[in-house]
Amino acid sequence: MAGIGFELRKILSKDSYSSLLRAYGYSAIIGSGPWIISIVSIVIVSYLLSGAFGSGEVQLFTASITHVYAFSLILVGPLQLVLTRFAADKLSAREPEAIFPSFLAALTVAGFVGGIGGIVFFGFGTEASLLYQLSAAGLMIYVCCIFIASNYLTALLDYREVVWAFFVGYVLSGLAAYGLGITWGVPAAMFGFAAGHAVLFLLLFRALRRGLGGEAQTSWEVLKYFKKFPSLMLCGLMYNLGIWVDKLLFWWFSDQHEQVNGLIFSARHYDVGIYLSLLSIVPGMAVFFLKIETDFAERFQAFFDLVEKGGTLQQLVDTRDEIADSLGRGFLNLFAVQGVVTAFLVVFADRIPAIISISAIQLGIFRVTLFGAFLLVIFLSLLTILFYFDDRRGALLCTSVFVVANIIGSWATLQANEAWYGFGFVIAAGLAMVIAGWRVNSRLGSLEYHVFTSSQG
């Protein structure tokens, strides 16, 4: 779905530094996804509320939101890649009017799953006021729906409306949480944060309604794709589980874990370190997103145009080589940008405690997981290419290795001491990256063969 790609190419065609910065800025916001952007808003709101709340109340607020995002990603993970494939196929078949009705169906499922999960977890698993429980459950519904909406954003041409939606939604979430929280406490802060996310969802919904067109009625045609592409369901589940499983293990089993409220736990040493390191991947994701949505997507589409129009074998080989060159340049840019960011943060990490209050243990975990974040952004980029190449079996292998390695590695570090915290995540991201790189290289070397053979399940 390359709607935004067309617009990004227009920006880059102006050939100026300001245009380049604009393109990277839009790519950073759209490519990073709401779960990365949300970390910033949580950090800022927590800092603001720390002056009005006690440490326990702030911890309840931040841990609740973190649990919402973790469980929402895991719950809707099986939906996301299938929905993306359905939308891409409909665009390819020149049936864009079928996308919005499928989006409505996906929202129905995501809202139901998020609502049940939120009510069960916060309603029966916490001891808090009814306002807090309902607000947290409502936040889970909105976050699930925002994740579903984010699947379709690259199909839109109006990238400004998307960026504006995220800006307004997260600013309102922070301001409402702070304004209500300092007056009426944590339950009101949670209500305000959920209200801001409701606005974000409505703005994204309006953008998709305008951009996708089609009838505003629910269609369940997309259900056939869940039966047709079960591997995509598993890939979505495994990837999101792999992102969060180390945090879950630290919440529940680390020596420093704390029971915040009922079923809500935290591991402040590990949480702070790894969340800060995950923020470092934004530049790398922006660089690769821009490359994928412009140069690579253009050459990839040219390859399949040749297939449909009966191009010669030599034309296909030449275009495949252009795809390889585009990927090579993209990964070189990714390595350069993310490498510089990671090296800079590692070298100057000692200055972070002067900016924000973090402990020596958190600083050590931050330094270690920076390397994991570096490997993760490369893995995520390679995984995106595997989906372009329709290597679903390879993608499932990579995401499964990511989950299993993260579980084993993180559990092993939990049995050691704080000096080893974060190494499980680094090893898991590294193994997944190596396997994904091997699959991409293998697939690319025989791309024309795979196009003319039966698709994998």
Instruction: At 25, list the tokens.
Output: 């800025």
Q: 196 in a domain, yes or no?
A: yes
pLDDT of residue 174 exceeding 50: yes
With a CB cutoff of 8 Å and minimum separation 6, the contacts of 430 are 372, 375
Q: What integer best gives the mean pLDDT of the chain?
A: 85
Percent of the chain with pLDDT over 70: 88
Choose from 98-107, 148-157, 215-224 the range with maximum mean pLDDT. Answer: 98-107
> Residue range 102-116: average pLDDT?
94
Same domain, 393 and 297: yes
Q: Are 452 and 395 in contact (CB under 8 A)?
A: no
Q: Which of 196, 228, 260 is the last residue of a domain?
A: 228
* Amino acid identity at 4: I
Q: 245 in a domain, yes or no?
A: no
Element (H, E) at 260: strand 258-261
Domain range enclosing 346: 275-451
**Residue 186 CB: number of other CB atoms within 10 A?**
26
Reduced to 3 states, what is the DSSP secondary structure of residue 261? strand
Choose from 238-242, 295-299, 447-451 the range with maximum mean pLDDT. Answer: 238-242
Same domain, 296 and 185: no
Q: Are 140 and 114 in contact (CB under 8 A)?
A: yes
Please state, in angstroms and as integers, the Cα–Cα distance from residue 413 to each residue in 193, 363, 416, 454, following that order.
34, 17, 5, 43
Instruction: At 185, list the tokens.
Output: 């406490």
Same domain, 312 and 219: no
pLDDT of residue 414 exceeding 80: yes
Q: 422 in a domain, yes or no?
A: yes
Choose from 34-38, 143-147, 219-223, 289-293 the range with maximum mean pLDDT. Answer: 143-147
Q: 399 in a domain, yes or no?
A: yes
Confidence (pLDDT) at 457: 40
Please state, in angstroms and as integers, the Cα–Cα distance from residue 149 to each residue in 1, 91, 444, following that order.
14, 17, 31
Q: 222 in a domain, yes or no?
A: yes
Same domain, 218 and 362: no
| Dihedral sign for Cα atoms in the order 370, 371, 373, 374 | positive
Q: Which of 170, 193, 228 is the last residue of a domain?
A: 228
Q: How far apart are the C-alpha atoms of 184 and 181, rounded to whole Å?
A: 5
Q: 303 in a domain, yes or no?
A: yes
Confidence (pLDDT) at 203: 94
Q: Are 8 and 27 in contact (CB under 8 A)?
A: yes
- What's the pTM? 0.88
Same domain, 218 and 294: no
With a CB cutoff of 8 Å and minimum separation 6, the contacts of 69 are 35, 38, 143
Please state, in angstroms and as integers, the Cα–Cα distance from residue 380 to each residue in 133, 169, 293, 435, following that order.
34, 26, 15, 12
**More confident position, 113 or 92:** 113
Confidence (pLDDT) at 130: 95
Least confidently predicted of 34-43, 311-320, 362-371: 34-43
Least confidently predicted of 228-232, 330-334, 366-370: 330-334
**Residue 151 CB: number of other CB atoms within 10 A?**
22
Q: How confident is the model at residue 97 (pLDDT cuts 50, 70, 90)?
A: confident
Reduced to 3 states, what is the DSSP secondary structure of residue 431? helix
Q: How far apart are the C-alpha atoms of 176 and 165, rounded to whole Å?
A: 16
Confidence (pLDDT) at 243: 92
Q: Which of 101, 71, 95 is nearest to 83 (CA)?
A: 101
Q: Which of 191, 207, 228 is the last residue of a domain?
A: 228
DSSP string, 159-192: HHHHHHHHHHHHHHHHHHHHHHHHHH-HHHHHHH
Same domain, 332 and 405: yes
Same domain, 67 and 187: yes
pLDDT of residue 455 exceeding 50: no
Confidence (pLDDT) at 4: 57
Q: 260 in a domain, yes or no?
A: no
Domain count, the chain: 2
Same domain, 342 and 222: no
Same domain, 218 and 300: no
Same domain, 299 and 425: yes
Q: How confident is the model at residue 456 (pLDDT cuts 50, 70, 90)?
A: very low
Same domain, 310 and 205: no
**More confident position, 1 or 62:** 62
Q: 266 in a domain, yes or no?
A: no
Q: How far apart are the C-alpha atoms of 94 and 72, rounded to whole Å?
A: 32
Instruction: At 444, list the tokens.
Output: 């690319």
Same domain, 185 and 319: no
